[in-house]
Amino acid sequence: MNSKFSNFSKDETLHFSFFESPLDLIGIAGSSKGLIRLKLGLKNPDSFVEYIETQFSGSWVEKASAFKDIKSQLRLYFKSKNTKFDFKTDPRVGTVFQKKVWAGLRKIPFGQTRSYAWLAKSIGNPKACRAVGNANGKNPISILTPCHRVIRESGALGGYTGGISYKQFLLDLEQNSNGTV
């Protein structure tokens, strides 16, 4: 995401908020159509605001109430009491291929992992492992779209945009969860 998304109107009002988690500060951004970005491991709020303002045209307003449900779901997730997320994404974010990969990620069961090869096959492109890995790395809605559940076929963790320690934390949290909702 190196330039502004042209699908967003400069006159559109977009919202953002923050959630304090065991993985540092999480930034949440969205439009009236759904979530645009959930970013882990922020060092400070200003870095997230600067990021969203440079990546998405529109007028940005901080509004905690816009993400009350997501925050509640995240709070329960980090207490090992939520195994599913209920949210809408803004359909203007991502390419057709990326959206297909991200939808595939949401099908990986809580507490389980899958390989990049499995994900490529599951979306009907068995030879697209590298492209799947690239789309996985560009996932704009970490945790909710569980890119952390994708590992190498060898069982090695592979990479994670938020950092490998975050990936390990999330996998451990899910695998040690009692799975209640």
pLDDT (0 to 100) of residue 6: 58
Q: What phi and psi values does residue 47 have, to the nearest 5 degrees?
A: -65, -35
Instruction: Give a yes or no: residue 5 inside a domain.
Output: no
Q: Are residues 64 and 100 in the same domain?
A: no
Instruction: Give a yes or no: residue 70 inside a domain.
Output: yes
Q: Are residues 150 and 113 in the same domain?
A: yes
* Average pLDDT over all residues of the chain: 90
Summarize pLDDT for 129-171 with one digit per residue, the tens: 999 999 999 999 999 999 999 999 888 898 888 789 999 999 9
Q: What phi and psi values does residue 131 have, to the nearest 5 degrees?
A: -65, -40
Instruction: Give a yes or no: residue 43 inside a domain.
Output: yes
Summarize pLDDT for 33-64 with one digit per residue, the tens: 999 999 998 989 999 999 999 888 889 999 98
Predicted model pTM: 0.89
Instruction: Give a yes or no: residue 67 inside a domain.
Output: yes
Q: Are residues 52 and 107 in the same domain?
A: no
Distances (CA, A) of 79 to 6, 10, 75, 165, 170: 38, 38, 6, 18, 12
Query: Which tops the pLDDT comparison, 2 or 68?
Result: 68
pLDDT-derived band at 11, boundaries 50, 70, 90: confident
Query: The domain that contains 131 carries what CATH number?
Result: 1.10.10.10
pLDDT score of 3 more than 80: no
Candidates 42, 132, 141, 147; catalytic one = 147
Q: Are residues 20 and 47 in the same domain?
A: yes
Instruction: Indicate the SS3 state at residue 159.
Output: coil
pLDDT-derived band at 4, boundaries 50, 70, 90: low
Catalytic-residue membership of 147: yes
Q: Are residues 102 and 162 in the same domain?
A: yes
Instruction: Give a yes or no: residue 62 inside a domain.
Output: yes
| Share of the chain residues as helix, strand and coil, in percent rounded to the nearest 5 | 35, 20, 40
When mean pLDDT is compared across 2-11, 86-95, 118-127, the lowest value belongs to 2-11
Q: Are residues 116 and 67 in the same domain?
A: no
Q: Are residues 100 and 140 in the same domain?
A: yes
Instruction: Give a yes or no: residue 88 inside a domain.
Output: no
The count of domains in the chain is: 2
When mean pLDDT is compared across 35-44, 85-94, 170-179, the lowest value belongs to 170-179
Q: Are residues 101 and 67 in the same domain?
A: no
Instruction: Give a yes or no: residue 170 inside a domain.
Output: yes
Residue ranges making up the domain that contains 71: 13-78
Q: Are residues 139 and 109 in the same domain?
A: yes
